[in-house]
Amino acid sequence: MNHTTAATGASLEAKNSNRNPRHIACIMDGNGRWAQNQGLPRIEGHRRGVTSVRKTVEECARLGIEQLTLYCLSSENWKRPQLELDFLMHLLEQYMIEERALIMEQNIRLQVIGRRDGIPEHVQTEMNKTIELSGDNTGTTLCLAVNYGGRGELVDALRQIAVDAKDGKLAPDEITEQTISSYLYTAGMPDPDLLIRTAGEMRISNFLLWQISYAEIWVTEKHWPEFREADLHQAISDYANRDRRFGGLNQ
């Protein structure tokens, strides 16, 4: 960390923690474009993106952010070339193995959301090991969205609600927003306060559609492999200075 980043981090810690987000969600965009701009193969962008993941996770843990959710693989990403998908699965497995000690050292609790179909068994095995090992940790929750789609999540939730209503476990006229939230992959997690997207794209891309209803959105032109602690600090600082009214009026 350079002096500028350290100073910014110190200023963030000095602020009223109530102005900082409890939950930050990131759409990590631009790995392939960054690589192509550097004259490198697309998969090299994904490899370099892991460094940004590590630095972001460590800094969120250091700042005491309650939860960080990273959009690792969307349900639509299966349309990509098989070589790229195989490499992404390799990176995911490698991350689970190589970052396990750091996750425990920093008291991070790992969660994974999304459908498991399509994810190789050996990758799921390493995911489950890290989830179980870190289950009692009490620091930042790191939630990885893998084979995730917001619409698919809602479909899965509504299917289960319909089953439970049919079985008499739920009365249809008693279903509330809280009921629906409790059937989502993210049940028990706070909704994101801040949504960060890299690479300058102005899209939600089917990410946490229910949960980001009132999230503040922050976009940077930097591609994900370029994202560093100073960018995270800037996003948090900008968030803290926004006027969040949740549809009402501040007095």
Choose the catalytic residue: 2, 31, 77, 107.
77
**For residue 101, what are the contacts with CB-CB under 8 A and spacing of at least 6?**
none
Residue 104: how many other CB atoms lie within 10 Å: 14
**For residue 236, what are the contacts with CB-CB under 8 A and spacing of at least 6?**
12, 20, 21, 24, 63, 194
Is 45 part of a structural domain of the chain? yes
State the alpha helices, DSSP H only, in the chain.
Answer: 3-14, 31-37, 42-63, 82-98, 100-105, 121-133, 150-166, 177-182, 229-240
Is 80 part of a structural domain of the chain? yes
Is 118 part of a structural domain of the chain? yes
**Dihedral of CA 124/130/131/133: which sign?**
positive
Choose the catalytic residue: 20, 29, 147, 231.
29
92: CATH = 3.40.1180.10
Domain region containing 75? 21-149+203-234
pLDDT band at 9 (very low <50, low <70, confident <90, very high): low
**Count of domains for the chain:** 1
Taking only the tens place, the pLDDT of each residue in 217-231 is: 999 999 999 999 999
- pLDDT, residue 15, reads 47
Is 37 part of a structural domain of the chain? yes
29 labelled catalytic: yes
pLDDT band at 28 (very low <50, low <70, confident <90, very high): very high
7 pLDDT exceeds 50? no
241 labelled catalytic: no
Residue 176: how many other CB atoms lie within 10 Å: 8
Taking only the tens place, the pLDDT of each residue in 152-208 is: 999 999 999 999 999 999 999 999 999 999 999 999 999 999 999 999 999 999 999
Single pTM value for the model: 0.90
